[in-house]
């Protein structure tokens, strides 16, 4: 028997055009995306972009393969040019990194005692880079044991309780390093006391996170983003009730279901990527996204620094994930950037930074000026100097040290010259 082709086509169109819940329509409209498979795909690309950062941290850098989940792996030194765990690492602190998975356990997090004037931060992120909890010097956390849980396990015997909105995520511990000699050993000893210990084992509620979650992804950024969004969907659900209602239907329309991605026939990924890119450009060009600090410097809006309203600021978190995945909140650090566009340093260019005086920072605070390459990593150089700041031997033009073991007596203007290593610095330049 012959099936009339018109009837089949009509049936397919009916299935594909199944109406989305109002909340999904409203969400697509709020991002100026069409309410169809292409718009849903563009949304999914924006939604899943931060997972590229999560993959870099968890898998590409080797954490899952080498340490597995629920282990804090500490570095011995500050980041250098060969460290590619996160983009724009800072060299003021030494990091410990852990990927947590609460599908079958809770975790006890140990915060060791440290000096009052030392900045340290335990930052807890969902896989999308949303910072949902912090412990540290800024919030004057009490040293001791804290419970990290995904359920409502009891935490009476702990200093505090942290409930993770998603069963998987990242714990990043940073401890300020005051100098590159004896203090590095001291920081290493603090980091060795920062512990992550499984407790309350329970029947797994989700499949465990393993290297297989990141294996055999497509080479195309768009395809691999959609594939990862599909694979992690059950373990990285939206945090707010409104999004829990709106997002899954959009992802399903885009072809993300049952843990894998099925590209709808009518979707041209190049076109969908262009729509996602247009949303990013509109956000980046909006002055309110990057308020000016004067003199050409700007900073991410505090609304989008580390915290994305529990994952509802979809475009903002995609933009931040590409430039500063795992940014922290303004209470802990500000990241002023020179220019909204990337500045370039070619053979013929130099930058002279003039400070009118020592930047004011809190007692446990610090500042630094760091250079990154186009990919967001530190720039290799013969001196292994990636940053200058309050712990560097910067001098005034008179020759006196700007910082003297933390004891500045006089204050005044000083300058930092950044130029190509092949160009000899001017003769009067003291600290090269």
Ligand X SMILES: *[C@@H]1O[C@H](CO)[C@@H](O)[C@H](O)[C@H]1NC(C)=O
Catalog residues that contact ligand X under the rule CB under 6 A. Answer: 75-78, 80, 82-83, 91, 177-183, 186, 212, 215-216, 218-219, 268, 270-271, 384-387, 391-393, 397, 405-407, 415, 426, 428-430
Q: Which two tokens stand for residue 143?
A: 């040293």
Q: How far apart are CB 184 and ligand X at their closest, in Å?
A: 8
For residues 142 and 268, which CB has a smaller minimum distance to ligand X in the complex?
A: 268
In terms of CB distance, is 217 or 237 closer to ligand X? Answer: 217
Shortest Å, Cβ 220 to ligand X: 8
DSSP 180-235: SSHHHHHHHHHHHT-EEEEES----SSPPP-GGGGTT--SSHHHHHHHHHHHHGGG
Q: How far apart are CB 400 and ligand X at their closest, in Å?
A: 12
State how far the alpha carbon of 93 is from the alpha carbons of 82, 125, 392, in Å: 16, 18, 14
Least CB distance to ligand X at residue 215 (A): 3
Nearest one of 114, 62, 69, 134 to 326, comparing CA atoms: 134
Positive or negative, the CA dihedral 311, 313, 316, 319 is positive
Cβ-based neighbours of 170, under 8 Å, separated by 6 or more: 54, 57, 58, 97, 98, 99, 100, 124, 125, 127, 326
CA distances from 327 to 117, 123, 173, 371, 386 (A): 22, 10, 13, 17, 19
Nearer to ligand X, 162 or 194 (CB): 194
Nearest distance from C-beta of residue 257 to ligand X, angstroms = 19
For ligand X, give the closer residue by CB, 397 or 410: 397
Shortest spacing between CB 244 and ligand X, in angstroms: 29
Backbone angles phi, psi at 231, to 5 degrees: -65, -35
Nearer to ligand X, 84 or 340 (CB): 84
**Of 95 and 304, CB closest to ligand X:** 95
């Amino acid at each position: 028997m012959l099936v009339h082709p018109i009837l089949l086509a009509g049936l397919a169109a009916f299935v594909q055009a199944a109406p989305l819940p109002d909340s999904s329509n409203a969400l697509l409209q709020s991002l100026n995306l069409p309410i169809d498979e292409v718009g849903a795909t563009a949304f999914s690309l924006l939604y899943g972009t931060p997972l590229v950062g999560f993959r870099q941290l968890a898998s590409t850098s080797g954490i899952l393969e080498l340490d597995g989940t629920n282990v804090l792996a500490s570095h011995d030194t500050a980041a250098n040019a060969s460290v590619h765990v996160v983009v724009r690492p800072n060299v003021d602190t030494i990091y410990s990194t852990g990927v947590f998975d609460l599908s079958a356990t809770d975790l006890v997090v140990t915060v060791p005692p440290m000096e009052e004037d030392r900045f340290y931060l335990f930052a807890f992120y969902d896989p999308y880079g949303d910072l949902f909890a912090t412990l540290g010097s800024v919030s004057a956390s009490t040293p001791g044991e804290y419970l990290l849980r995904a359920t409502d396990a009891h935490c009476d015997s702990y200093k505090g309780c942290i409930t993770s909105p998603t069963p998987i995520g990242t714990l990043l511990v940073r401890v300020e390093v005051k100098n590159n000699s004896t203090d590095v050993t001291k920081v290493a000893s603090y980091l060795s006391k920062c512990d992550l210990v499984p407790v309350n084992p329970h029947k797994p509620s989700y499949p465990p996170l393993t290297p297989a979650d990141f294996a055999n992804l497509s080479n195309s950024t768009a395809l691999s983003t959609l594939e990862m969004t599909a694979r992690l969907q059950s373990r990285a659900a939206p945090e707010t009730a409104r999004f829990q209602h709106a997002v899954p239907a959009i992802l399903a329309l885009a072809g993300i279901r049952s843990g894998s991605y099925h590209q709808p026939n009518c979707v041209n990924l190049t076109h969908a990527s262009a729509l996602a890119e247009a949303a990013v450009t509109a956000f980046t060009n909006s002055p309110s996204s990057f308020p000016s600090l004067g003199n050409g410097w700007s900073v991410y809006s505090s609304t989008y620094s580390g915290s994305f309203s529990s994952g509802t600021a979809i475009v903002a978190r995609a933009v931040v994930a590409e430039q500063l995945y795992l940014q922290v909140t303004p209470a802990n650090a500000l990241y002023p950037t020179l220019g909204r566009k990337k500045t370039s340093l070619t053979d013929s260019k130099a930058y002279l930074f003039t400070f009118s005086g020592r930047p004011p920072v809190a007692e446990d605070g610090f500042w630094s000026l760091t250079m990154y390459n186009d990919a967001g990593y530190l720039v290799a150089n013969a001196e292994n100097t990636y940053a200058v700041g309050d712990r560097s031997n910067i001098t005034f033009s008179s020759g006196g040290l700007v910082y003297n073991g933390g004891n500045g007596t006089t204050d005044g203007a000083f300058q930092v010259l950044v130029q190509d290593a092949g160009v000899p610095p001017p003769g009067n330049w003291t600290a090269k």
